[in-house]
Amino acid sequence: MPKATKWRYCRHFKPLTIHCEFPPERSYTPPPLTQHQVFSRSSDPSSDAAERPTPAALLPIPLSTKIPKPRGEVSRISRGGYNLQEALGWPASEYEETRAFVSQLAREYLKVNKSWRLQAQPKVSIVYAEAQKRYPILERYDGSWVVGDMLRIFLKNSCSRDT
């Protein structure tokens, strides 16, 4: 019987050379300065301070800009939500006082054994108004989301206790 021929493999690879051409880098112009002040040469350094422009950082923040609600659902941290107390950044005593007052209003005006969706809207509006009357800081928040979140947490906990 004839011998089986052995196949010989010649593994030869061409060297991998890649030639890349990059476009020339574009020179970026620096962003304009936000607190840029122009001083005229003829002005006296002891001139009236009212004529000097004030930097934008020193101007008061208008109250018309309201604080938006954070992304996610309140107290659902594992699902992309947020902790209300951390999101507000208030001192613990101030947060607890406001939360206790909103809970008291909820016991007074709402049915605590019902969920948020089953509450009567006129009564919920009364709770919002009373809370904002007592704590004017709540008006800074867009759509009074702070009061709504406190109510949702309270009603969720009180409704689950009853069942």
Residue 87 CB neighbour total at 10 angstroms: 17
The verdict on residue 36 lying in a domain is no
The verdict on residue 156 lying in a domain is yes
- Look at residue 77 in the predicted model and tell me its pLDDT: 84
The verdict on residue 84 lying in a domain is no
Range of the domain at 98: 90-163
Question: What tens digit of pLDDT does each residue of 77-96 get?
Answer: 888 888 999 999 999 999 99
Question: In the chain, which stretches have pLDDT less than 50?
Answer: 57
What's the CA gap between 35 and 57, in Å, rounded?
A: 8
The verdict on residue 133 lying in a domain is yes
What's the CA gap between 98 and 150, in Å, rounded?
A: 9
The verdict on residue 79 lying in a domain is no
Q: Number of folded domains in the chain?
A: 1
The verdict on residue 102 lying in a domain is yes
The verdict on residue 103 lying in a domain is yes
